[in-house]
């Protein structure tokens, strides 16, 4: 990160710094408020600022007038750099003197053989770089003087002489160096610099050096830089690139640097404690849903936190403008990545037992600092022991490994050896290969740059050694350790440390303790390890007696207790229901979202149509374009008079009308049937055709019917009568089969459309095969019975293969085609599954689908009730079966989990992980099931067809039938594409409504609340019919925002939405063509409660004797018929 140079953009960005008692934000405000002209947009304004009211402006000459005008308008003057008394305060003379002497000492002592070859060392700099990363010469100037001087030439002579060639203003800025350091000479550059270069050339020749050590940026620009570099090349000296040598020199920290870095470390501790940890505490205490991204953003915007700013100013006396947050990281749940990057994932902060990683890196006065801590939630003995072991490893590294002149590789190996030899002291860690989870890098040098690859303390870095007067970021941790409870957790501790000239180590970030009693949370209703290990009998017997206490040491001495979700729901008087302040904040946030949504809708419909409407999602043919025969000669030659004929080749039925055969394409037929008329003793064939109004061809706005001329009409029905029953039945069968073939052909043509063409799967023909065996798939790849197959990972996708009666079928899924991936273990379920929701349709068997699921049955699907009656709770056979089933489920979970992790490593696809805190029940399709919420979806996958709703496609949510006294409500989701029908989840228990409202607000979705159900089909048609009226009447707020006004669209019958139905492309993914009756069986969820049993009403109340008598009568009737 480079804060020296600013990026130029459409808006004029200004770094805020103090100047003459005013702030530069005034200047920025004036520029923005007055509106940007083209001239102002092109201004390249680079600002260098420091304490003591100094501003250094650099700008292009052609825009000098424009900037001066703006400065005059604001009344803010540019402080000129001169030799006044304040200028001595700008430069830290003692620090600069120490650094200059160190350069000569490092050079002469031969610490670097390559650097010592030359008697001349020059540093060239051009115009300010716009790159985010500072160049080596910029770093060198910042390290040497504390400032970057653009278009300046530094020349060091080994006989302790420093010549600086720079501009007039910079010469005045460097005047204190001339007055206090004898070896420094500053030359003022001019237009041609002939005299200056002659003087420098004579000095170089006097040094009698054949080589010249040089530090330059290959991408530097500017006339002055080019002139200096041309001058160097004309000297005919061999150029030595000493960039790597200088990097070692830049690691040196002076006393002044250490004061800055200590202040920076204290700043990092304050921001970590007062913002990140406090936010996590509040989220756990109130059980609010805060995402990792939201928490870390608060640290990045620390200047908006008044309490934190007061602490920084009053306690540390620092200038807020000198602080820059490099990164902020918050991680929890089951997956951790131990790296120093902003945590951009939208996963919510986990409130389950485990660990939370929290860290921050800051740059203060151009020196970086870092700190990371681990918080424990309901920590089990394994969590506590590994945390204590991590702290012990860090202490050992500080005491025994960070020895001056020891190589980085030896430091790492020594730490790993300590790990291997001491893990036996912790009983819960003995069986774990901890070295496999240990970090691959235990630290790095930290200073002007946060991290550089040359100074990583790793096993392979054998050439770099520990140095004195250097700062390090020490990092010790274990990543994604598999716990006894099958959940992953991580421990990570990072501290900024300093090794002084005596080799003593000081921890700069010790303001936040690492003691376990200060970083532990104990949540109410948490189980201890002893409870987990007790057998079933003791657990049942003592369940009512056990009550978990509250830990005496809650981080930050939190006054409140974190109450579990189960207890909160039971307690009607809890804070979640009565906290008026919380609801006010929720309503305030919703009002902001509604205003934002209205602006978004206006923008989307500004051109008269929504960007989300996909007109190309369905290929529909006009019925007038359907052709059967281009020539009469193509008619079948075996046609017989007055006899109906089906032509499969031309996809038509030929009907005899007035002595001629008239062809009708089967796509024009709605349905047909054959019946027997008793009165006339004749068979009747009835054919119904597609006509406008029945919406069987197109269930949407597209009109597939031809435009008729006046006096033309449609044939709606044709009736044929015959005595030949067999022939009519054959015709009906042939036509229905032909219709299926035509539809299947259209589906395959749509899937195989070139614009939807799928890339080829690259098979993994070498290396280890990653396979899941004995899986079934939905939709079924074969018609009829279910077939077991294998799922194998390949280079760019997956292949499922199954064999039935010698016929092998494949399902190929490319990683690039996967929109969402789900893994659902068999915890409380009868199946374990991996599910993929795709970006485009694929063919599975003969079905077109967007969802493919691979699953395996776990546990007993059928139980013998007669056998169960003879058993009791403590039956050894019963307990053995349960144990065996539990072991089988654990084994399947482990196999599937390993497959998923390997797939994530190969494909970089992140699987959707449900948030247990947000799970609720409802009816998305036909059954009342558990609905899971992930970062990007709302889903239920066990019942088929699956329910998957993408959060990014949601326009608004409507909570309906919300009324005092009702035990449940309905939630309807309206899509951004108004041509799509709404998705609904019905019969949601009212106890979840507060949780759902908070969650919707957290993900920035507007919701409305009402007492009645609405006819959304009619509402959306009305909106699409008159978009302007909808936008002008405040959008959805116009008719949903008024709670007291009774809605005109309240539903008398919820099933009346059939007028607004799904189009065929959506039906292909959701109707019976994809999910037929064979696929719709329920793989029910296991339940601890009592199940509902449906009894046959006809047999209800009958005894066994009566049922037996009825069966005998049925058999006698069958014999009589025979």
- DSSP string computed for 959-1014: EES--TT-SEEEEEEEESSTTSPPEEEEEEEGGGHHHHHHHHHHTT-EEEE-SS-B
- Closest to 227 (Cα-Cα) out of 202, 258, 191: 191
Two structure tokens written together for 272 = 């970590």
Helix ranges (H only) for 807-849 are none
Ranges of each domain in the chain: 18-74, 85-250, 255-533, 645-751, 760-864+871-911, 913-1088
- What is the fold of 913-1088? PH-domain like (2.30.29)
What gap in Å lies between CA 123 and CA 136, rounded to an integer?
10
Residue 587 phi/psi, 5-degree rounding, is: -65, -40
Calpha distance 311→273 (Å, rounded)? 11
> Contact, 586 vs 995, CB < 8 A?
no
HSE-CB of 57 using CA atoms within 13 angstroms: 21
Structure tokens that stand for 954 in this block: 């949601």
Sign of the C-alpha dihedral computed for residues 250, 254, 256 and 262 taken in this order: positive
Q: For 385-423, write each residue's pLDDT tens digit.
A: 999 999 999 999 999 999 999 999 999 999 999 999 998
- Of 913, 938, 995, 915, the C-alpha closest to 287 is 995
C-beta separation of 158 from 107 below 8 A: yes
Note whether 511 and 311 are within 8 A (CB). Answer: no
Strands 441-445, 22-23: pairing is unpaired
The helix/strand count (H/E) of the chain reads as: 33, 41
The first and second tokens of residue 629, run together, are 């025969």
Question: Among residues 918, 928, 922, which one has the least CA distance to residue 951?
Answer: 918
* CATH code of the domain occupying 645-751: 2.30.29.210
| CATH code assigned to 760-864+871-911 | 2.30.29.150
Helix (H) or strand (E) holding 39: helix 38-41
What contacts 24+ positions apart, CB below 8 Å, involve 657-665?
661/635, 663/628, 663/629, 663/635, 664/628, 664/689, 665/626, 665/627, 665/628
Which stretches of 578-681 are assigned E, i.e. beta strand?
Answer: 645-647, 652-657, 660-665, 669-677
Residue 647 DSSP one-character state:
E
Cα–Cα distance, 924 to 947 (Å, whole number): 7
Whole-number pLDDT of residue 1062 = 42
Phi-psi group of 901: left, alpha or beta (phi > 0 → left; psi -120 to 50 → alpha; rest → beta): alpha
CA nearest to 1023, candidates 982, 1077, 1072:
982
> For the chain, how many residues are written?
1122
Pair of tokens at residue 378: 């309901």
Rounded CA-CA distance 947/971 in Å is 14
List C-alpha distances in Å: 421 to 416, 418, 430, 817: 9, 5, 11, 48
Give yes or no for a contact between 321 and 331, defined as CB atoms under 8 angstroms apart. no
Pairing between β-strand 161-166 and β-strand 184-188 as defined by DSSP bridges: parallel
Round to whole Å and give the CA distance between 514 and 373. 8
DSSP conformational letter for 697: S
Query: What burial class does residue 866 get, using C-beta atoms within 10 Å of its C-beta: 0-12 exposed, 13-18 middle, 19+ buried?
Result: exposed
| Whole-number Å distance between alpha carbons of 314 and 122 | 43
Phi then psi for residue 761, to 5 deg, are -75, 130
Residue from 118, 196, 124, 186 nearest 158 by CA: 118
| Distance in angstroms (rounded) separating the CA atoms of residues 152 and 196 | 13
Q: Which residues of the chain have pLDDT under 50?
A: 1-67, 69-89, 525-578, 613-616, 695-702, 1043-1101
Residues 291 and 294: their CA atoms lie apart, in Å, by: 5
Return the CATH fold of 85-250. Creatine Amidinohydrolase; Chain A, domain 1 (3.40.350)
- CA 100 to CA 93: how far, in whole Å? 10
Q: Which tokens belong to 218?
A: 């290959």
Question: Tens of pLDDT along 677-720?
Answer: 777 778 889 998 887 765 444 444 445 566 555 567 778 889 99
**Residue showing tokens 């250490």:** 258
Assessment of whether the complete model's pTM goes beyond 0.75: no
**Two tokens at 669?**
């037929």
Q: Output the pLDDT for position 417.
A: 94
Q: Which phi-psi region, left, alpha or beta, contains residue 304 (left: φ > 0; alpha: ψ -120 to 50)?
A: alpha
Decide whether 645-751 matches 913-1088 in CATH topology.
yes
Task: Look at strands 807-814 and 818-824 and give their pairing.
Answer: unpaired
Q: Which two tokens stand for residue 547?
A: 């009550």
At 570-581, the pLDDT tens digits run 344 444 444 677
**What CA–CA distance (Å, rounded) separates 916 from 918?**
5
Largest CA distance in the chain: 130
Question: Please, what sign has the CA dihedral across residues 169, 174, 175, 176?
Answer: positive
Cβ distance 1039 to 1046 under 8 Å? no
For 276, other C-beta atoms within 10 Å of its C-beta total 24
- The Cα–Cα gap between 735 and 655 comes to 12
Specify the CATH class of 255-533 in words: alpha beta
Q: How far is residue 320's CA from residue 310's CA, in Å, rounded to a whole number?
A: 10
Q: Can you list the positions of beta strands (E) in 446-599?
A: 456-458, 470-482, 488-499, 505-507, 520-521
CA distance 716 to 724: 24
Question: Do residues 200 and 235 lie in contact, with contact meaning Cβ atoms separated by under 8 Å?
Answer: no
Residue 847's H or E segment, with its range, is strand 847-857
Q: How far apart are CA 923 and CA 930, in angstroms?
A: 9
* Residues 6+ positions from 194 with CB-CB distance below 8 Å: none
For residue 938, give both structure tokens.
Answer: 């709302």
Asked whether 416 and 393 are in contact (CB, 8 A), the reply is: no
pLDDT tens digits for range 731-761: 999 999 998 888 878 777 766 665 555 678 8
Q: Report which of 874, 875, 834, 889 is spatially closest to residue 1086, judged by C-alpha positions.
A: 889
In the chain, % helix, strand, coil (3-state, to 5) comes to 40, 25, 40
The DSSP symbol for 1091 reads P
Q: Is the dihedral of CA 660, 664, 669, 675 positive or negative?
A: positive
């Amino acid at each position: 990160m480079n804060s020296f140079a600013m990026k130029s953009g459409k808006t004029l960005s200004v770094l805020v710094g103090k100047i003459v008692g005013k702030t530069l934000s005034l200047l920025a405000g004036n520029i923005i408020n007055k509106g940007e002209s083209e001239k102002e947009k092109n201004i390249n304004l680079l600002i260098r600022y420091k304490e003591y009211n100094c501003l250094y402006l650099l700008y292009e000459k052609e825009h000098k007038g424009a900037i001066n005008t703006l400065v005059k308008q604001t009344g803010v003057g540019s402080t000129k750099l001169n030799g006044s008394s304040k200028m001595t305060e700008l430069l830290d003379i003692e620090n600069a003197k120490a650094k200059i002497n160190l350069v000569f000492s490092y050079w002469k002592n031969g610490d670097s053989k390559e650097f010592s070859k030359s008697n001349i060392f020059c540093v060239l700099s051009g115009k300010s770089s716009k790159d985010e990363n500072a160049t080596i010469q910029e770093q060198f100037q910042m390290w040497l003087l504390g400032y970057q001087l653009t278009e300046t030439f530094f020349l060091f002579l080994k006989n302790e002489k420093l010549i600086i060639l720079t501009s007039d203003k910079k010469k005045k800025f460097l005047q204190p160096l001339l007055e206090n350091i004898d070896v420094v000479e500053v030359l003022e550059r001019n237009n041609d610099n002939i005299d200056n270069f002659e003087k420098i050339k004579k000095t170089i020749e006097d040094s009698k050096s054949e080589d010249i050590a040089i530090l330059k940026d290959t991408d530097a620009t500017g006339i002055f830089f080019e002139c200096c570099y041309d001058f160097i090349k004309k000297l005919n000296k061999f150029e030595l690139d000493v960039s790597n040598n200088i990097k070692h020199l830049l690691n040196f920290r002076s006393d002044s640097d250490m004061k800055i870095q200590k202040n920076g470390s204290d700043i990092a501790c304050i921001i970590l404690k007062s913002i990140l940890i406090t936010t996590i505490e509040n989220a756990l205490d109130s059980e609010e849903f805060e995402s990792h991204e939201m928490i870390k953003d608060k640290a990045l915007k620390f200047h908006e936190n008044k309490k934190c700013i007061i602490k920084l100013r009053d306690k540390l006396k620092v200038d807020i403008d000198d602080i820059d947050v490099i990164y902020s990281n918050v991680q929890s749940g089951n997956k951790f990545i131990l790296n120093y990057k902003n945590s951009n994932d939208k996963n919510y902060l986990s409130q389950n037992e485990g660990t939370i990683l929290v860290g921050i890196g800051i740059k203060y006065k151009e020196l970086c600092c870092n700190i990371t801590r681990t918080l424990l939630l309901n920590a089990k003995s394994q969590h506590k022991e590994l945390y204590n072991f991590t702290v012990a490893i860090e202490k050992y590294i500080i005491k025994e490994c960070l020895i001056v002149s020891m190589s980085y590789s030896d430091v790492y190996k020594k730490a790993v050896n300590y790990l291997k030899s001491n893990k036996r002291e912790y009983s819960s860690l003995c069986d774990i290969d901890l070295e496999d989870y240990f970090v691959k890098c235990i630290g790095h040098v930290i200073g002007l740059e946060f991290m550089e690859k040359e100074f990583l303390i790793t096993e392979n870095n054998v050439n770099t050694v520990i140095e004195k007067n250097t700062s390090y970021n020490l990092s010790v941790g274990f990543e994604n350790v598999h716990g006894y409870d099958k959940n992953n957790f991580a421990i990570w501790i990072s501290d900024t440390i300093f090794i002084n000239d005596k080799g003593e180590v000081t921890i700069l970030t010790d303001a936040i303790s690492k003691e376990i009693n200060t970083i532990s949370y104990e949540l109410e209703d948490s189980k201890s390890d002893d409870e987990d290990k007790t057998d079933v009998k003791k657990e049942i017997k003592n369940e009512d007696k056990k009550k978990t206490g509250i830990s005496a040491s809650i981080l930050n001495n939190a006054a409140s207790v974190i109450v579990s979700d189960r207890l909160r729901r039971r307690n009607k008087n809890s804070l979640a229901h009565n906290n008026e302040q919380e609801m006010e904040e929720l309503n305030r946030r919703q009002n902001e979202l509604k205003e934002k949504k209205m602006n978004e809708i206006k923008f989307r419909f500004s051109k008269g149509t929504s960007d989300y409407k996909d007109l190309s999602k369905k290929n529909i043919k006009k019925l007038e374009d359907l052709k059967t025969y281009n020539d009469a000669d193509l008619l079948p030659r075996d046609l017989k008079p007055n006899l109906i004929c089906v032509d499969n080749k031309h996809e038509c039925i030929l009907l005899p009308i007035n002595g001629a055969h008239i062809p009708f394409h089967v796509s024009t037929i709605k349905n047909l049937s054959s019946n027997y008329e008793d009165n006339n003793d004749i068979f009747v064939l009835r054919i119904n055709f597609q006509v406008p109004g029945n919406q069987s061809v197109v269930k949407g706005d597209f009109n597939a019917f031809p435009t008729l001329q006046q006096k033309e009409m449609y044939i709606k029905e044709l009736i044929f009568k015959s005595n030949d029953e067999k022939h009519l039945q054959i015709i009906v069968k042939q036509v229905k089969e032909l219709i299926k073939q035509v539809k299947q052909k259209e589906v395959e043509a749509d899937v195989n459309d070139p614009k939807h063409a799928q890339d080829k799967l690259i098979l993994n023909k070498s290396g280890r095969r990653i396979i899941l065996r004995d899986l079934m798939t939905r939709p079924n790849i074969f018609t009829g019975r279910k077939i077991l197959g294998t799922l194998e990972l390949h280079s760019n996708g997956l292949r499922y293969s199954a064999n039935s009666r010698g016929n092998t079928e494949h399902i190929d899924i490319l990683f690039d085609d996967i929109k969402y991936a789900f893994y659902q273990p068999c915890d409380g379920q009868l199946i374990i599954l991996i599910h993929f929701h795709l970006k485009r349709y694929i063919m599975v068997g003969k079905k077109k689908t967007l969802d493919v699921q691979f699953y395996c049955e776990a546990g007993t699907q059928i139980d013998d009730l007669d056998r169960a009656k003879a058993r009791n709770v403590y039956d050894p056979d019963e307990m053995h079966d349960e144990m065996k089933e539990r072991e089988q489920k654990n084994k399947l979970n482990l196999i599937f989990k390993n497959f998923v992790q390997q797939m994530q490593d190969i494909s970089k696809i992140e699987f959707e992980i449900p948030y247990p805190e947000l799970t609720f029940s409802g009816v998305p399709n036909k059954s009342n099931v558990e609905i899971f919420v992930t970062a990007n979806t709302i889903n239920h996958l066990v019942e088929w067809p699956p329910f998957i709703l993408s959060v990014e496609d949601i326009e608004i949510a409507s909570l309906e039938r919300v009324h005092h006294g009702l035990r449940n409500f309905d939630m309807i989701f309206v899509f951004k594409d108004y041509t799509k029908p709404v998705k609904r989840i019905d019969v949601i228990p009212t106890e979840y409504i507060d949780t759902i409202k908070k969650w919707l607000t957290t993900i920035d979705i507007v919701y409305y609340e009402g007492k009645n159900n609405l006819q959304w089909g009619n509402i959306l048609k009305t909106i699409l019919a008159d978009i302007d009226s909808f936008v002008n009447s405040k959008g959805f707020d116009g008719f949903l925002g008024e709670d007291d006004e009774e809605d005109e669209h309240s539903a008398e019958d919820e099933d009346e939405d059939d007028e607004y139905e799904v189009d065929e492309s959506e039906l292909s993914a959701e109707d019976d063509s994809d999910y037929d009756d064979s696929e719709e069986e329920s793989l029910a969820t296991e339940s601890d409660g009592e199940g509902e049993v449906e009894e046959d009403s006809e047999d209800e109340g009958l005894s066994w004797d009566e049922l037996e008598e009825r069966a005998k009568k049925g058999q006698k009737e069958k014999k009589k018929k025979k």
